[in-house]
A and B are shown apart, each in its own frame.
Chain A
Amino acid sequence: MSTRRLQALTPYALLLPSVIFLLVFFAYPMVEAFTLAFRAEGGGWTLDNFQTMIRDVAFAPAFRTTLLLILIIIPVQFALALTMALLIQAKLKFSGLFLYIYAIPLGISELAAGIVWFAIFTERGYLNTVLTALGILDKPFIFLSYQNTGWLLFAVVLAEAWRATSIVMVILVAGLQSIPNEFLEAADVFGATLWDKVWRVILPLLRPSLQVALILRTILAFQVFAVALAVAGRGITLLAAEAYRWYNTYRDPNVAAAFAALIMVLSIVSTILYLWGLRTPEEQTL
């Protein structure tokens, strides 16, 4: 084989291990899990699992809450993450330190983050202790009551925002760094305000990163459950939590797979929407 030929093959050879890894540990289990949702107990094909899923008393609330959570959390996280990323990009003093501080929640598992926020919001938790000590409340306020879905959702959103905003930020920082300084300097020359620069230069050029971050965040948001479980217990329920319960508590892997398949379909649909809605026209690529 000629050297040239060998050189041409090298990239593929280097890609091969990761491709095998993805096929064996990702694609194969995913296909298996997906088909499991259509399997009957005897081995034939069926839609019973989906019927059981839809008839389940927890299905409608889980579906509703999951969508609501995504609708609230994605905009909040993107606004926060963009602000944080711009702050880092502004190269203020200690901006390196900011990056580290922002990244701390990344190192904390979903469940641990949930437990931390539970400790804050529970009746005898930190928040109530501080508020009563300051005289703002006479007696502890019960935030995490099942009768108080608003507060439950708020606590989950807060915990999720705290935990997962930095993922978005890291992607946006990487995106910001790929925007050439010349563009911003040119904008300065034309007397653009900071708002103009963000709105007309940075955001359009950030589109590919935003797309990646949105896809990633939305898919992960469909999978959120440990935070909700720790903070809200059985007070609110999510699709992923129901999948977990059907597998682990009710011992029915088929119905659990039906929930998982639904989550997958929702994830794919949202990904396609993002790919289509945020596509970058050829003439706008850098």
Chain B
Amino acid sequence: MKQKRLWAGLSTLILITGLLLSACQPTTVTVTVEVTKQVPVEVETIIEVTSTPVNYGNLVWLSTQLRPVQEAEKVRGVILADFPGTVEFIPEDEGPFHDRIAAEVQTGQGTVDVLGALHGNFSTMAPAGQLQDLTALRESLADRGIPDAFWNVAQLNTEQTYYVPWMQATYIIAANKAALEYLPSGADPNALTYEQYAQWAKNVFDATGEAKFGFPAGEQGLLHRFFQGFLVPSFSGGVVTTFAGADAAAGWQWLVDMWPYVHPQSTTYNFMQEPLLSEEVWVAWDHTARLKDAFEARPDDFVALPVPAGPKGRAFMPVIAGLAIPVTSNNVAGAEALIRYMTEPNTQINTLREVGFFPVVAVDYPGFVSPGVKLEGEAVTLQAASPDALPALLPQGLGGKGGDFNKVFRDTFTLIVLNGEDIQTVLAGQKPILQAIMDETGAPCWSPDPDSGGQACQVQ
């Protein structure tokens, strides 16, 4: 009997261990795969110097951009197809991306040759001594037609240039054509105001009985960018300095008034293209790359519109992604060649066509760009060129505190809009948290907040 019990106990134990291990799988798998993937690269860095055509050997490209599987496959299969070398494109979340480069620089053992990330990522890496100076490469790219404004930003307030602008994107409105008939009378869909936008949502609700406007308020949704780059600056003309003022409060009040006409499942939406295509939602604000599938799949059913304008202008957030080389790169020649390749007009057009990020170089939109991408491109241009345009840059100089900064806006939203708490009380409660982030990082104000002369930005 004893033995039988022992066996039963043992088998249970083995089962539990097995189950525990398998339960751990989803979190551990990604890590192991990435580590094993890059091992061969260290060993096989071959640069053929003599033979033509040139081959730049093996490169590892780590990127916080183009992470969705489909986009990453486009990079590997289409965009990189003509590059003379073997590139291993590894998409990575921001956290592990920074951890990995920091670890490689700390140990002096590099496996990554090229970095693709947003301006905000690079702005913390350069002061940490993780990025190479690319001034020489910049000079060799003079003929690309990359705007000086972008290059200036890439200098990160120094004399050096730390990254090469790679692609840009922004956020726009996507609307199902079925919603257009409910536009408030006299409203120009290409020059809406926030007031008209809310009225439009109400009209749709009154007519259909459904809340058919959507926001990406899910876990991976970019709703915080709506507050930082659109809502708050449109109403208050700033982001940080005006955070707790009456103008910003008016913006939040607008959202509170609008919210009954916003789809209640918005808190599960990450990419608005999905609810747009399923027609759960008719009108949505999101990143161009996250609306692209809707325009691509049914270009005849959707229109792309510029974002609405508030009392202080049509605030919008341009997103600039860049390419950089870590100091520990083992294949600098290959890395530079890859960056040159990625900024060629042809590659830029390919990037636009395949993943929906817009060129940073001067290109003519050729006829073969799909109707969906063309729709988005026109709205992006219209938005940037509108007379009341107010570009609000991505948060800068926050280092590792970028997440906390976003949290302030997400929490403000949760408390005011979802929990229905008093706007002034919530803003007053979040203000010291925001100020602490600014003081701790010493981040100076960024556009559209007025220049703080290198001092930490102050919440008024």
A and B associate in one complex: yes
**Interface of A toward B, CB cutoff 8 Å:** 57-58, 106, 109-111, 118, 122-124, 139, 142, 144-148, 167, 170-171, 174-175, 177-178, 180, 208-209, 212, 216, 220, 226, 229, 231-235, 247-252, 285-286
Given A124-B279, A234-B218, the answer on whether A251 and B267 have CB atoms closer than 8 Å is no
By a CB distance below 8 angstroms, the chain B residues around A178 are: 4-5, 7-9
Beyond the given pairs A142-B265, A232-B268, 17 more chain A to chain B contacts, judged by CB atoms under 8 angstroms and listed by A's residue number, are: A57-B414, A58-B411, A110-B23, A111-B26, A122-B280, A139-B210, A146-B266, A174-B8, A174-B15, A175-B12, A233-B218, A233-B269, A235-B267, A248-B95, A249-B407, A250-B404, A285-B5
Given A57-B411, A145-B264, the answer on whether A110 and B93 have CB atoms closer than 8 Å is no
By a CB distance below 8 angstroms, the chain A residues around B406 are: 249-250
By a CB distance below 8 angstroms, the chain A residues around B108 are: none
Contact B16 A147 (CB under 8 A): no
By a CB distance below 8 angstroms, the chain B residues around A148 are: 264
Given A233-B217, A251-B402, the answer on whether A216 and B414 have CB atoms closer than 8 Å is no
Contact A234 B267 (CB under 8 A): yes
Contact A226 B26 (CB under 8 A): yes
Interface size class, chain B: 35 or more
Closest 10 A-B residue pairs measured CB to CB?
A233-B268, A178-B8, A145-B264, A250-B403, A233-B218, A124-B278, A146-B267, A251-B403, A235-B267, A234-B267
In Å, the complex CA distance between A247 and B26 comes to 17
Given A123-B280, A286-B1, the answer on whether A249 and B264 have CB atoms closer than 8 Å is no
Given A122-B265, A144-B265, the answer on whether A110 and B26 have CB atoms closer than 8 Å is yes
Within 8 Å by CB of B264, from A142, A167, A229, lies: A142
* B95 vs chain A, min Cβ distance (A): 5
Q: Which of B12, B25, B94, B402 has the most CB of A within 10 A?
A: B12
By a CB distance below 8 angstroms, the chain A residues around B210 are: 139
B279's nearest neighbour on chain A, judged by CB, is A124
Q: Which of B4, B5, B265, B266 has the most CB of A within 10 A?
A: B265
In Å, the complex CA distance between A110 and B29 comes to 13
Within 8 Å by CB of B268, from A144, A147, A177, lies: A144
In Å, the complex CA distance between A142 and B266 comes to 11
Interface residue? B159 (CB, 8 A): no
Interface residue? B54 (CB, 8 A): no
* B368 vs chain A, min Cβ distance (A): 33
B281's nearest neighbour on chain A, judged by CB, is A123
B95's nearest neighbour on chain A, judged by CB, is A248
B25's nearest neighbour on chain A, judged by CB, is A109
Q: List 10 A-B contacts (CB under 8 A).
A: A109-B26, A142-B264, A146-B267, A175-B12, A180-B1, A208-B9, A235-B267, A251-B94, A251-B402, A252-B404
Contact A252 B403 (CB under 8 A): yes
Residues B272-313 near A (CB distance < 8 A): 275, 278-280
Interface residue? B418 (CB, 8 A): yes
Contact A171 B1 (CB under 8 A): no
* B430 vs chain A, min Cβ distance (A): 9
Contact A171 B95 (CB under 8 A): no
Q: Which of B20, B23, B94 has the most CB of A within 10 A?
A: B23
Interface residue? B428 (CB, 8 A): no
By a CB distance below 8 angstroms, the chain B residues around A57 are: 411, 414-415
Q: Which of A148, A180, A220, A234 has the most CB of B within 10 A?
A: A234
Residues B93-126 near A (CB distance < 8 A): 93-95, 98
